[in-house]
Amino acid sequence: MDLKGEINRRRTFAIISHPDAGKTTLTEKLLLLGGAIQIAGSVKKNKIRKTATSDFLEIEKQRGISVATSVMSFDYKDNKINILDTPGHKDFAEDTFRTLTAVDSVILVVDSVKGVEEQTRKLMEVCRMRATPVMIFINKMDREGKNPFELLEELEKELKIAACPFTWPIGNGSRFKGVYNLLTESIQLFSSGKTSLSEMLFETHDISDPMLKEHVGEENLRKLKEEIELVTDLFESYHNSLYREGYLAPVFFGSALNNFGIPELFETFITIAPHPSALKTVERVVLPDESQFTGFIFKIHANLDPNHRNRIAFLRICSGKLERNKMYFHTRLNKKMRFSAPASFLANEKSTIEEAFPGDVVGLYDTGNLKIGDTLTEGENLHFSGIPSFSPEILKEVINRDPLKTKQLEKGVIQLTDEGLAQLFTQQPGNIKIIGTVGDLQFDVIKFRLEHEYGAKCDFRPLPFIKACWLTSANKLKLNEIVNRLSNTIAFDKSNTPVFLAESEWMLKMAKEAHPEVQFHNSSEFTAK
């Protein structure tokens, strides 16, 4: 198959949600439907086995949450599916945000009982910033939750996106029987299947089919007919361009746990979701069907094998073809590199591949040369944009508990923050190291890893700052003026960009008003502003 054919058959997307909305369960059911696994629970079991072999990931096991993005690739009906299952916990939101730079679309999972939650809103803001196409799966319809009309109105109001229902629930809670496909005007009813594929019980394109009443009940059927008439009048009809541009979200109802509504979601996704498209670099726009290879690193995972201290860098291929053992140009280091064992993934199972194409996510074994945001090409000096660091909400000073291990501590802090686990700022005088995160759990991970991987012990002293904002200005004199005047609340990131550390929203507001020629950014990706 030629390059364009390989591109057209790929669908690369992330599954995102607030914690406990059913994201990992949905991921498993998509893998089950696609034939990638044979029994639900495989992904979770693999995660447990993986944590048992790694002291760092023991925290994941103890807390019962996902702390890292999982990559899963498989073939389905001549399509290559790349799923990125992201952490839902807010303390690891930055890993999720960076993952969104490597996908072409997302499926957002919403709990029908709780509706739109805090993390749902934040994730949608990032999707909107990047104009990422979004599908919404309203999960847990088998529980007593909110009315479907109420949920759709909440989606539009809270997420600021037009909702377009593709399926409609037949009952809800204990009366939930399945979904009606509004586009095909058909019903496929399945048996409940928590660990395996559901068996189809009944299929019809006629809502008046007398057999349908026997399966769903007279009251459910009467209510379904009434709601179908209402929903087509109240909500936006589907327009492909509006979906692709991020203004309209196809909405599906179901229960991931019981396999209800999953086939309708998956089949529609394969049909309308975008294949890999053009991506921006600082220098130019890169088209996926260009013959020359390009790609960027969006995630690094270290210590997968504690005996070897190995790291895997996750690469999104943007154009051309990646080939095993071929030399590629690392634009930041200005040198060539060869990768002898590029890997594809199914959860924590890895396999070496000979080639990969635009849209694919591959793992590159790395000894420390690669960093998040790095670009690889076949020689052209390009730098992919849009891989931001977001304003941390918790900032703490690193306190060295063992002065004899100062070098080890500095090396560990630099390498762990290179992975994107947290952000590192330096404040003068005194070369004070400040680590910024979006949650306290990252400090536990950093402290543990510094001691067990680098032999360095540290404590973290809380600082009175609530936010870090990157500073830029076309007027360098004005920028230097604010850096000098507010030196007690100024630090510098790894690229030596000044950062304002705000003690309160009021202090931030005052600083902005006092220095109108200086821009205060909530992320390090200034070109997106």
Residue from 2, 1, 9 nearest 275 by CA: 9
First to last CA, the chain: 39
Tens of pLDDT along 72-98?
888 888 999 999 877 655 555 667 778
Tens of pLDDT along 498-527?
999 999 999 999 999 999 999 999 877 654
| Cα 376 to Cα 336: distance, rounded to the nearest angstrom | 9
pLDDT of res. 35: 78
Interior angle at CA 323, CA 322 and CA 326, nearest 5: 115
> Which CATH number applies to 394-528: 3.30.70.100, 3.30.70.3280, 3.40.1190.20, 3.40.640.10?
3.30.70.3280
| Cα 29 to Cα 196: distance, rounded to the nearest angstrom | 8
pLDDT of res. 93: 63
The residues spanned by each domain of the chain are 3-272, 285-377, 394-528
Residue from 31, 518, 456, 500 nearest 256 by CA: 31
Average pLDDT over residues 291-307: 80
Question: Which token pair is 120?
Answer: 């749902």
| Cα 313 to Cα 297: distance, rounded to the nearest angstrom | 6
CATH class assigned to 285-377:
mainly beta
Question: Which token pair is 1?
Answer: 């198959």
| Cα 106 to Cα 136: distance, rounded to the nearest angstrom | 8
pLDDT of res. 96: 75
Contacts of 48 (CB under 8 A, 6+ apart): 61
Average pLDDT over residues 273-291: 95
SS3 124: helix
| Cα 184 to Cα 164: distance, rounded to the nearest angstrom | 14
Which fold, 3-272?
Rossmann fold (3.40.50)
Pairing of β 349-352 and β 343-346: antiparallel
Contact predicate 342/352, CB 8 Å: yes
DSSP per position, 99-113? HGGG-SEEEEEEETT
| Cα 372 to Cα 402: distance, rounded to the nearest angstrom | 29
Question: Which token pair is 184?
Answer: 């095909």
Tens of pLDDT along 148-172?
999 999 999 999 999 999 999 998 8
**How far, rounded to the nearest angstrom, does the alpha carbon of residue 433 sit from its chain's CA centroid?**
28
